[in-house]
Amino acid sequence: MKLQRHRFQILPAVVLAACVPVAFAQKPAQTPPPQTPPAPTTPQSQPAPATTSTVQLPTTLPGTPQSTPPVPSPRAFATVTKDAEEHNGFFTLFEKDDRVLLELKPEQLNKPYYLSINRTGGLGENFIYPFMMRGYIVEFRKVGGLVQMIAKNTRYRAQEGTPLALAAQQSFADSLLGSAPVVSEPHPETKAILVDANALLIADIAGTATELEAAYHAPYAFDQRNSSFTKVRATADMATFAVSAHFAMPKIPAPSNNNNPNAPTLPGTLEDARSMFLGYHYSLAKLPDQPMRVRKADARVGHFVSRQYEFTSDIAPFPRQYMVNRWRLEKKDPTAALSEPKEPIVFWLDRNIPVEYRDTVKAGVLEWNKAFEKIGFKDAVRVEMQPNDADFDTADLRHASIKWYLDTSDGALAIGPRRVDPRTGEILDADIAISQGWTRLPRRLAGEQFPKPMPRAAHSNDEGTLCEYGAESFNEAAFAAGLLEARGELDPSSPEAEAIVKATLKDVVTHEVGHTLGLRHNFRASTIYTEEQISDPEFTRKHGIGGSVMDYNAWNIALDKERQGEYVMSTLGPYDYWAIEYAYREIPADKESQELSRIASRSNEPQLAFATDEETGIGIEAADPEVNQRDIGHDPLVFAQRRMTLSRELWDRWQDRKLPDGEGRDVLYRNVVSGFSQYSLAAQVAAKYVGGVVYVRDHAGSPRASFTPISPERQRQALKLVTDGLFQVDSFKFKPEFLTRVAADPFEAGVGERASFTLPARVLAVQTQVLDRLMSDAVAQRLLDSSFKIEGGKKGLTLADLYDTLQGSIWSDLKGTGDIPLMRRNLQREHVRRVTFMLTRANGTPADARALQRENTKTLVTQLRAAEKRPGLSKEARAHVADARDTLEEALKAPMQRVGI
């Protein structure tokens, strides 16, 4: 399942709110849905262009409803601008009362400009945040009494002046973003005309109505009458427009009490949910006079790319070309080994960043200068502080920025989006947004109330999409802090805690700035250093804890009494230097191709290990156990084992801890739950080894194969870790008197049953996640296929091995003498459900997998029949055994049906 990454320039915020969870969510169960609560459903919204049925058409089209004034007959230029305030600039603006006129000189028509849109006022929830949104190449076209603002389609092209250029133009359409009446006669000398900027820009160009519909299923619409400009500005190379945009619905939909997932919900942060004012900032700017020289992308190094269809030559097998997204960086003195750039990359710290964190943020940005220095640039990246009385908004196109935002979710999110000239890949602007959660998280110790999953944000290699560096970090930080507190190694009010907050924040800033420099994630980088190395504080201070700041590195937590390295990544890794070199090293044009392939061909060096979002995948599709978000150390299987150990330590310590009188017991709840989330992460990392395949992007000439199945020994080790660590009852031992005191905070959870902690349900949730993977078609298929990829007739882990091991472990009680406890019965029931599903489903299950399960089921039925008569079973266990036997016998007899898909 793949996002249509290249095809659409998706509205980033719509992606955030809706598309990605769909794209990245676990594949719909091919095994029957477990009885654990389903993942929150997410509305399936299509990538939405600015005009869809739910978005107002550009309200300025003649004949559309809403407040379009009739096109007035133009009056003399001087008459129209009389008494108006003139903002002189590249685009001159005239402002009078609440109206703004945009002057267009004849030479400004039919020329490309950049229109960028940021949201500057949000809702504080549901991804309606003040984030960078998207950008367009626009042209103004005069059609009769109207000026149209056209979004130019620049992605499909052929060499100017050739027949194919004409064909490209005829084959791919432009779009209309808005239009406005011409309100003046041409200026007598300059021939400039004036257009109504209110009509042009006070509109829902960003498609927020669709975003709101996706988020709330409520019929919010843009209301032009109550929307207005709040500030306009003209500079030597752009005009900016700040808009207060009103969205409303006439009435709140009546509540519906069914379980319709599409039933309307309402924003929780509004005083009156029928109405909201959101803020938008438009920059209409000059494009670079001289387009930047394109740098060809190489898939072995992780850069964001712009994709263009270049049809000129039909010798290439495909017309698609990939250009690295990068800033224009040129040496002042090209002959010097180390030179300042002609123009540095400047990041502005927004005035909304709390004073006490500004130095940390600055340090996080400037960390990148180490990589630029290595390729001959001195002070390539600089930091400026936005003055409190600054006239500009950092949302504009000329100020790359870092900004804080607040929301009501308890997680921590940070994003690093960019604006790119789609013709060349040149990065024009970037506005990083960092949630305040980052500075609370590590200090919050036992974490927040619930491990509420943060909605996943977008990752793609298109410009305009976002990075999320927060989803699991919430659990991660809570876990680490809870453990350190319980060990007595960290006091939340100590300077050490403050230092950890700042170290975490610096890491986040460096990661996000990395995205805005054009770098994608690298989720294999965490594997380059040994466990020994990352436990050495001196080593980690020098080298960090992994190969890249573009990984989501897990907190580096030592086992009890072990040596402790740095907790978080404190500097760039070798991969980061390499990726910057590929994108930014100055290379003479005639040597570029050769030099770039030399740089990229280093991809098989162990220190440069790389794999990005596509390789990580989510859930069952993910096949490469070396590529994980939030792991650390050379061997992810060792990481998994250590995390299980740390989770048990966390649980044990909190069980033994006497809370001071008066302290809320929700701290116990939070720690038990955060232990489970880490245990689950660990189990899933381990399970990826079964049927796992390492995939690298090397080209011919590299000694490494593209696909390398995990060795049978490692697969067996992983399977043993899972069956021992997850399926045995004593994996999850808690004292009853502890469990009866694990209570959530009533303010957050409600009271009574709702605030209670149910151990069997938690355990089952972790178990079923792993069962879903191990009994999936994808893993079955990979194990069946792997026999072709193992050389010399060596015996790999077979599918029969896997199914036998699972069945033997899950039903081991049948061979014993005692009772079958509740948690074992739950697990066995889930196994029966999945087996039944595989046996009775007509399509999907690989034939060999079904045949094996039939065989195994017959054996199991015999064992169940014998066990039914055994003494020592409780009534519940006896009923369970009989029920399982019945169900399996039915499944063996049943004709195959079409179910489940």
Strand partners, 296: 323
Shorter beta-carbon distance to Zn ion: residue 94 or 469: 469
What's the half-sphere exposure (Cβ side, CA atoms, 13 Å) at 732?
26
- Provide the minimum distance between the beta carbon of 523 and Zn ion in the complex, in angstroms, as a whole number: 10
Q: Does 569 bind Zn ion (CB under 5 A)?
A: no
- How many residues can be counted in the chain? 901
Number of residues that bind Zn ion (CB under 5 A): 2
- Provide the minimum distance between the beta carbon of 412 and Zn ion in the complex, in angstroms, as a whole number: 13
Token code pair at residue 1: 């399942």
Interface mask (CB under 5 A) for Zn ion, residues 365-394, using x and -? ------------------------------
Count of other CB atoms within 10 angstroms of residue 188: 10
- Provide the minimum distance between the beta carbon of 466 and Zn ion in the complex, in angstroms, as a whole number: 8
Q: Does 304 bind Zn ion (CB under 5 A)?
A: no
Q: Does 469 bind Zn ion (CB under 5 A)?
A: yes
Assign residue 633 a region (left: φ > 0; alpha: ψ between -120 and 50; beta: otherwise): left
Q: Hey, is 102 helix, strand or coil? A: strand
- Provide the minimum distance between the beta carbon of 346 and Zn ion in the complex, in angstroms, as a whole number: 22
- Provide the minimum distance between the beta carbon of 611 and Zn ion in the complex, in angstroms, as a whole number: 14
**CB 213 within 8 Å of CB 220:** yes
Shorter beta-carbon distance to Zn ion: residue 202 or 413: 413
Number of H helices, E strands in the chain: 27, 22
Q: Does 467 bind Zn ion (CB under 5 A)?
A: yes
Q: Does 357 bind Zn ion (CB under 5 A)?
A: no
- Provide the minimum distance between the beta carbon of 195 and Zn ion in the complex, in angstroms, as a whole number: 40
* β strands within 144-289, DSSP E: 146-151, 156-157, 175-181, 193-196, 221-234, 238-248, 275-286
Shorter beta-carbon distance to Zn ion: residue 578 or 757: 578
Shorter beta-carbon distance to Zn ion: residue 404 or 469: 469
- Provide the minimum distance between the beta carbon of 769 and Zn ion in the complex, in angstroms, as a whole number: 24
Token code pair at residue 387: 């003055």
Shorter beta-carbon distance to Zn ion: residue 23 or 249: 23
Q: Does 216 bind Zn ion (CB under 5 A)?
A: no
| b/e 788-811 (16+ beta carbons within 10 angstroms → b) | eeeeeeeebbbbebbbebbbebbb
Closest residue to Zn ion, Cβ-based?
467
What does the alpha-carbon distance between residue 368 and residue 383 come to, in Å, rounded to a whole number? 12
Shorter beta-carbon distance to Zn ion: residue 630 or 850: 630
- Provide the minimum distance between the beta carbon of 492 and Zn ion in the complex, in angstroms, as a whole number: 27
Token code pair at residue 701: 């000439």
- Provide the minimum distance between the beta carbon of 515 and Zn ion in the complex, in angstroms, as a whole number: 6
Angle between helices 822-840 and 875-893 (to 10 degrees): 10
- Provide the minimum distance between the beta carbon of 627 and Zn ion in the complex, in angstroms, as a whole number: 15
Shorter beta-carbon distance to Zn ion: residue 212 or 467: 467
Which range in 227-235, 469-477, 744-752, 800-808 contacts Zn ion by CB under 5 A?
Answer: 469-477
The letter for the amino acid at 355 is: V
The single residue listed with the structure tokens 């990979």 is 782
- Provide the minimum distance between the beta carbon of 416 and Zn ion in the complex, in angstroms, as a whole number: 6
- Provide the minimum distance between the beta carbon of 871 and Zn ion in the complex, in angstroms, as a whole number: 59
Which range in 77-85, 404-412, 463-471, 777-785 contacts Zn ion by CB under 5 A?
Answer: 463-471
Which range in 118-126, 460-468, 555-563, 603-611 contacts Zn ion by CB under 5 A?
Answer: 460-468
Shorter beta-carbon distance to Zn ion: residue 181 or 617: 617
**SS3 string of 265-286?**
CCCCCCCCCCEEEEEEEEEEEE
Which range in 99-107, 464-472, 628-636, 688-696 contacts Zn ion by CB under 5 A?
Answer: 464-472
Shorter beta-carbon distance to Zn ion: residue 58 or 416: 416
Write out the binding residues for Zn ion, residues 59-88 only, by CB under 5 A.
Answer: none
Interface mask (CB under 5 A) for Zn ion, residues 106-125, using x and -? --------------------
Which range in 249-257, 468-476, 733-741, 763-771 contacts Zn ion by CB under 5 A?
Answer: 468-476
Strand partners, 432: 402
Which range in 50-58, 108-116, 459-467, 702-710 contacts Zn ion by CB under 5 A?
Answer: 459-467
Strand partners, 121: 279
- Provide the minimum distance between the beta carbon of 766 and Zn ion in the complex, in angstroms, as a whole number: 26
Write out the binding residues for Zn ion, residues 134-153 only, by CB under 5 A.
Answer: none
Shorter beta-carbon distance to Zn ion: residue 117 or 467: 467
Q: Could you say which DSSP state residue 313 is in?
A: -
Angle between helices 636-656 and 712-722 (to 10 degrees): 20
Whole-Å CA distances, 900 to 76, 821, 896: 70, 30, 12
Shorter beta-carbon distance to Zn ion: residue 103 or 463: 463
What does the alpha-carbon distance between residue 594 and residue 141 come to, in Å, rounded to a whole number? 43
φ/ψ of residue 433, rounded to 5? -120, 130
Shorter beta-carbon distance to Zn ion: residue 311 or 469: 469
Angle between helices 636-656 and 473-487 (to 10 degrees): 50
Which range in 135-143, 461-469, 654-662, 707-715 contacts Zn ion by CB under 5 A?
Answer: 461-469
Shorter beta-carbon distance to Zn ion: residue 469 or 578: 469
- Provide the minimum distance between the beta carbon of 521 and Zn ion in the complex, in angstroms, as a whole number: 5
Which range in 267-275, 338-346, 394-402, 467-475 contacts Zn ion by CB under 5 A?
Answer: 467-475
Closest residue by Cα to residue 282 from 145, 138, 417: 138
Q: Hey, is 482 helix, strand or coil? A: helix
Shorter beta-carbon distance to Zn ion: residue 164 or 458: 458
Q: Does 582 bind Zn ion (CB under 5 A)?
A: no
What does the alpha-carbon distance between residue 95 and residue 854 come to, in Å, rounded to a whole number? 78
Shorter beta-carbon distance to Zn ion: residue 339 or 510: 510
What does the alpha-carbon distance between residue 619 and residue 623 come to, in Å, rounded to a whole number? 9
Q: Does 454 bind Zn ion (CB under 5 A)?
A: no
Q: Hey, is 746 helix, strand or coil? A: helix
Q: Hey, is 491 helix, strand or coil? A: coil
Q: Does 775 bind Zn ion (CB under 5 A)?
A: no
Q: Hey, is 823 helix, strand or coil? A: helix
| Sign of the Cα pseudo-torsion (777, 779, 784, 789, in order) | positive
- Provide the minimum distance between the beta carbon of 467 and Zn ion in the complex, in angstroms, as a whole number: 3
- Provide the minimum distance between the beta carbon of 457 and Zn ion in the complex, in angstroms, as a whole number: 9
Which range in 49-57, 466-474, 565-573, 850-858 contacts Zn ion by CB under 5 A?
Answer: 466-474
> Counting beta carbons within 10 angstroms of the beta carbon of residue 105, is it exposed (0 to 12), middle (13 to 18) or buried (19 or more)?
middle
Q: Does 580 bind Zn ion (CB under 5 A)?
A: no
- Provide the minimum distance between the beta carbon of 612 and Zn ion in the complex, in angstroms, as a whole number: 10
Count of other CB atoms within 10 angstroms of residue 724: 13
Token code pair at residue 73: 């007959």
Q: What stretch of H or E contains 348?
A: strand 345-349
- Provide the minimum distance between the beta carbon of 23 and Zn ion in the complex, in angstroms, as a whole number: 16
Q: Beta strand 146-151 with 175-181: parallel, antiparallel or unpaired?
A: antiparallel
Closest residue by Cα to residue 757 from 696, 670, 834, 838: 670
Q: Does 347 bind Zn ion (CB under 5 A)?
A: no
Shorter beta-carbon distance to Zn ion: residue 394 or 553: 553
Shorter beta-carbon distance to Zn ion: residue 183 or 381: 381
- Alpha-helical (H) ranges within 488-607 are 495-516, 531-534, 537-543, 574-584, 592-600
Q: Does 243 bind Zn ion (CB under 5 A)?
A: no
Q: Which residues bind Zn ion (CB under 5 A)?
A: 467, 469
